[in-house]
Amino acid sequence: MPGHPLGNTATLSVARHVQICSRPLSCADCPLPQISQHSLHRLIALTPVSPRLGWHGLCPWGYAPSRANHTLRVISGDLGQLPAKVRDFVERSARLCQPEGIHICDGSEAENDATLALLEREGLVRKLSKYDNCWLARTDPKDVARVESKTVIVTESQRETVPIPADGATGQLGNWMSPAQFQKAIDERFPGCMRGRTMYVLPFSMGPVGSPLSRVGIQLTDSPYVVASMRIMTRLGKPVLQALGDNDFVKCLHSVGRPLPLEGELVNQWPCNPEKTLIGHVPDQREIISFGSGYGGNSLLGKKCFALRIASRLARDEGWLAEHMLILGITNPAGKKRYVAAAFPSACGKTNLAMMRPTLPGWKVECVGDDIAWMKFDSDGRLRAINPENGFFGVAPGTSATTNPNAMATIQSNTIFTNVAETSDGGVYWEGIDQTLPPGVTVTSWLGKAWKSGNKEPCAHPNSRFCAPARQCPIMDPAWEASEGVPIDAIIFGGRRPKGVPLVYEAFNWRHGVFVGSIMRSESTAAAEHKGGSPSILRTFIFLLLTL
């Protein structure tokens, strides 16, 4: 078909149109001619395309009555230089979301400076004069944590995702959504959701670029806050595209859900749509779709969404493990070094343990990662692990020079703080920071109110965060970016139990250790909606357990 967006692939695309859309072929604005039912069946039979869950239920060219003439305007980068699969993903998503322009991120310092300057102009962040290139963001108070009740796994069968309870019982071990329900939810949210905004294309690597243990994702987002944060948390930019080539990748689509011009006012200039927030994972298609939240746990899709939920399916299919674990190296006074992985829920001390400063003479601790471990047995049968992340997304309250001096050293520069308090001399403040304020210095809470010690309300949100580059940590292990990973000698399971159990105890053997780990309990975190039981203290990421 001359002049068609897909050139000579019209036959293949007709079949895709039918299989992805499940809509009449003669859409009002579709350039394809009408076709008989007999010919349609023949085309599908002759074309090697498997039916699959589509991204948005639209024609793959983006043709639909209200979206046919949307122009793809690239304001930075070159669509033609993208790998074909990436370009197709970007073009289809752009025709759905209708952004004002497309910015293909290269990961450069200049681009990062421009992104932060844009955030400052729009009132989304404030520069903290006390530190070097540090910034403070305050979110809408309705958008402060992961939203478990609106986080779903999409599979054909419910049993693939969660146990099916008996009649009358309510399951609490995850949220399943059928492909049809999810398609309807997408159709209600995404058409035109980026109007007036820029769609940023973020090519990112989870793990060192080019490592056999690493995986690549492409995130599309309309949030410059996400762009700046993903540059810290992942390896981002041109080298990732070069390493990707024509290989497959995890597709990540995110929107804050507030097209321009706005309907209604923003709180703290923070765009979000809490009423329609939805975070969906389609493991069979390696896809993540997030709408309505700008908070890191819901919008930095390389973190829990990719690195645990989707990665757990990748790991099951490919023979490795994706775990909610820190990784650290411990060297004894004799110079013998061991690497340990440790599984704790969020806000239970993973970061503090990963950055521990030993008090015993002669002992040394070095950090590989503080949150997620990807592990695989090598050709010699040795379990090896990488930290797929490139930064720390740590809980601020409770972090101090006493509890975690290495974290405090890490966050002195190039850090984005979210929902912490601000001091009048350009610093940050939170519960447990253990710093005496200089005379005359005042504190403004995360809600923008004057705050004094003794106030009933906390100065920082309990789930307030710092987002800092891992390379700035003074005790990063020399092998933290090793392509082959580090050898794991022990695994620790833990939680947060202030009373009633020993601080540390040892399992009798590996089988007993698995049992002990599976029955551990932990107090709920500030980010948790559910306060009941949590198998293996991993409720939020239980899909990981069910698919291994």
Marked catalytic residue, from 348, 459, 467, 473: 348
- Rounded to whole angstroms, the Cα distance separating 24 from 6 reads 20
Cβ-based neighbour number of residue 159 at 10 Å: 11
Marked catalytic residue, from 200, 225, 295, 429: 295
Contact yes or no for 89/64 (Cβ under 8 A): no
113 belongs to the catalytic site = no
Question: Cβ neighbours of residue 541 under 8 Å, at least 6 residues apart?
Answer: 304, 308, 309, 312, 324
Map out the domains of the chain with their CATH numbers: 1-51 (no CATH), 101-123+142-318 (3.40.449.10), 322-389+474-546 (3.90.228.20)
Q: What φ, ψ does residue 273 adopt, rounded to 5°?
A: -140, 75
Marked catalytic residue, from 92, 189, 231, 324: 324
- Rounded to whole angstroms, the Cα distance separating 174 from 308 reads 14
Sheet holding 490-493, edge to edge: 364-369, 325-331, 337-343, 490-493
Marked catalytic residue, from 150, 304, 384, 539: 304
295 belongs to the catalytic site = yes
254 belongs to the catalytic site = no
346 belongs to the catalytic site = yes
- Rounded to whole angstroms, the Cα distance separating 189 from 58 reads 14
Helix (H) or strand (E) holding 286: none
pLDDT of amino acid 147:
92
DSSP 8-class letter at 370 = S
pLDDT of amino acid 403:
93
- Rounded to whole angstroms, the Cα distance separating 505 from 490 reads 14
Burial of 426 (0-12, 13-18, 19+ CB in 10 A): middle
Q: pTM of the prediction?
A: 0.84
Three-state SS for 431? coil
Burial of 293 (0-12, 13-18, 19+ CB in 10 A): buried
Q: SS3 string of 109-169?
A: HHHHHHHHHHHHHCCCEEECCCCECCEEECCCCCCCCCCHHHEEEECCCHHHCCCCCCCCC
Marked catalytic residue, from 229, 346, 445, 522: 346
Marked catalytic residue, from 146, 235, 303, 313: 146
Question: Cβ neighbours of residue 82 under 8 Å, at least 6 residues apart?
Answer: 90, 104, 201, 241
Three-state SS for 265? coil
225 belongs to the catalytic site = no
146 belongs to the catalytic site = yes
Marked catalytic residue, from 371, 429, 459, 539: 371
Nearest 5°: the CA angle 320, 302, 21 is 95
465 belongs to the catalytic site = yes
Closest of 424, 468, 418 to residue 444, by C-alpha: 424
Q: Can you give the pLDDT of all 548 residues of the chain as single tens digits?
A: 333 333 333 333 333 333 333 333 334 444 444 333 333 333 333 333 333 333 333 343 343 334 445 678 999 999 999 999 999 999 999 999 999 999 999 999 999 999 999 999 999 999 999 999 999 999 999 999 999 899 999 999 998 888 887 787 766 778 999 999 999 999 999 999 999 999 999 999 999 999 999 999 999 999 999 999 999 999 999 999 999 999 999 999 999 999 999 999 999 999 999 999 999 999 999 999 999 999 999 999 999 999 999 999 999 999 999 999 999 999 999 999 999 999 987 768 888 999 999 999 999 999 999 999 999 999 999 999 999 999 999 999 999 999 999 999 999 999 999 999 999 999 999 999 999 999 999 999 999 999 999 999 999 999 999 999 999 999 999 999 999 999 999 999 888 877 888 888 889 998 998 898 888 878 765 555 555 555 544 555 444 333 33
Marked catalytic residue, from 138, 150, 251, 465: 465
pLDDT of amino acid 501:
84
The structure tokens listed for 446 are: 């995360």
